[in-house]
Amino acid sequence: MTFDSPEFWIALVQIIGVNIVLSGDNAVVIALAARGLPADQQKKAIFWGSGAAVVMRIVLTIVAVELLRLPYLKIAGALLLLWIAVQLLLPEEEGGRHGDGVGSLAAAIKTILLADLVMSLDNVIAVAAAAKGHVGLLIIGLAISIPLVIFASQILLKLMDRFPIIITLGAALLGWVAGDMAVTDPVDKPWVDLHAAFLHWGAPLVCAIGVLVVGKWLAARKTAAMAAAAAPAPARSAAAATAPGLLRRVLLAVDGSEGSARAVQHLIKLRQDLRDPSALDVHLVNVQRPVSGDVSRFVSGETLEGYHRERSETALAPARDLLRAAGVTFSEHQIAGDPGPTIAQTAAAQGCDLIVMGTRGLGSSSAMLLGSVAHSAAESSTVPVLLVK
């Protein structure tokens, strides 16, 4: 591959894309490790910890490039990447054991380094595979993407939450890289080149599509199982729940977006049409996605709780202001969990007649593909869900 060849630029884009998608957990650890430090030490912890992690990541990836030249290792790596790609599409679960609190600059740097070492296996293998043995390309790709993840980590996390298609495309990209790895292993590459050259694009395409199909299917099963485990109360009919005078308890799910604001305003208007507006019991809820088990191993439970509470407060603030200005009293819930099923489970647990939430302009087919929270809540809920566009 030369600098002016299309293969070089395609591989560079793959390296940057893989790094961004697979570094989400690392970005969370960096943010949480520095979170409890004084303001003047936070930047130092992020700079020194991340800088050392970058050097370590480059060394590990160069080693991986060399190891992938050995027979059968690319096939093994391809299988691992396929598993990782499918896992990206599954609903997040709360992590297990929590790490210790981070109380000093040295401890924060140590946490960042240790977490990056432990959590980088998938990243290292995927990037090494995308580089196709080109060490110069590897270093350029890492030099561009790693600082982006470090210094724009919060922006990237918000974008991934706002546009789930980033995760979906990232999973497909990993599937593509895995398929390419499988047919370029020293064991099978000569046969593929001679007898089945079409597999150089066919295998990556099949693996990318397979990841999306299997991942979405498993995600749907897991979501259904989580909803069933909540054992919700029997639902009312949509007509009975929404008829004026019969609506008594509403769950209003918000995330701080413009769609949420429209949902709040719609509920305020709906309340005014009731025979007894003051009798309406409003439950305001925000659900934060839990961090992965990998992240929870390196930061304390107290730090994670503070992180979720801070993000939830930001998301709830606009809805609070609108409800209070309209004279609406409400109960409030801050929860960590997979948003769609958790919203449905909370409505059932609180005995709500209706769920009201905003959408982000996605059609039904797009919502199914992109993993819309509104679509997931509607699928999981046993009470009517009013989606406000």
Does the pLDDT value for residue 317 go beyond 90? Answer: yes
Render pLDDT for 34-77 as a digit per residue (tens, 0 to 9). Answer: 766 777 777 777 777 777 777 777 788 778 777 778 888 888 88
Instruction: Report the mean per-residue pLDDT for the chain.
Output: 77
Residue 205 clears pLDDT 90, i.e. is over it:
yes
Q: Which residue has the tokens 């380094």?
A: 113
The runs of H, that is alpha helices, within the chain are: 6-22, 24-35, 39-67, 73-88, 105-119, 121-131, 135-151, 153-162, 165-183, 189-195, 199-229, 238-242, 258-272, 293-296, 301-325, 339-349, 364-370, 373-380
Domain ranges of the chain: 6-226, 238-388
Q: Report the C-alpha gap between 123 and 62 in whole angstroms.
A: 12
| Percent of the chain at pLDDT exceeding 70 | 73
Q: What is the pLDDT of residues 80-117, one digit of tens each?
A: 888 878 877 776 554 444 555 555 677 777 777 776 66
Structure tokens at 268: 């305020």
pLDDT at 329 over 80: yes
pLDDT band at 146 (very low <50, low <70, confident <90, very high): low
pLDDT band with cut points at 50, 70 and 90 for residue 126: confident
What tens digit of pLDDT does each residue of 6-26 get?
Answer: 888 888 888 777 777 666 666
Residue 213 or residue 48, greater confidence: 213
Mean pLDDT (whole number) for 174-193:
88
User: Tokens standing for 155?
Assistant: 């922006």
Beta bridge partners of 250: 282, 354
CATH homologous superfamily of 238-388 equals HUPs (3.40.50.620)
Give tens-digit pLDDT for 242-266.
444 468 899 999 998 888 999 999 9
* Dihedral sign of CA atoms 240, 353, 368, 315 in order: positive
Structure tokens at 66: 């060399």
Asked if 193 and 232 touch (Cβ cutoff 8 Å), the reply is: no
Give the distance from CA 195 to its chain's centroid.
Answer: 40
Q: How far apart are CA 376 and CA 344, in angstroms?
A: 9
Cβ atoms 183, 199 nearer than 8 A: yes
Phi, psi of 293 (to 5 degrees): -60, -30
Rounded to an integer, what distance in angstroms lies between the CA atom of residue 242 and that of residue 114?
Answer: 53
Residues 6+ apart with CB under 8 A from 356: 250, 251, 252, 253, 263, 266, 267, 270, 385, 386, 388
Q: What pairing do the DSSP bridges indicate for beta strands 281-288 and 249-253?
A: parallel
Output the six-digit token pair for 389: 């566009």
Rg (CA), the chain: 24
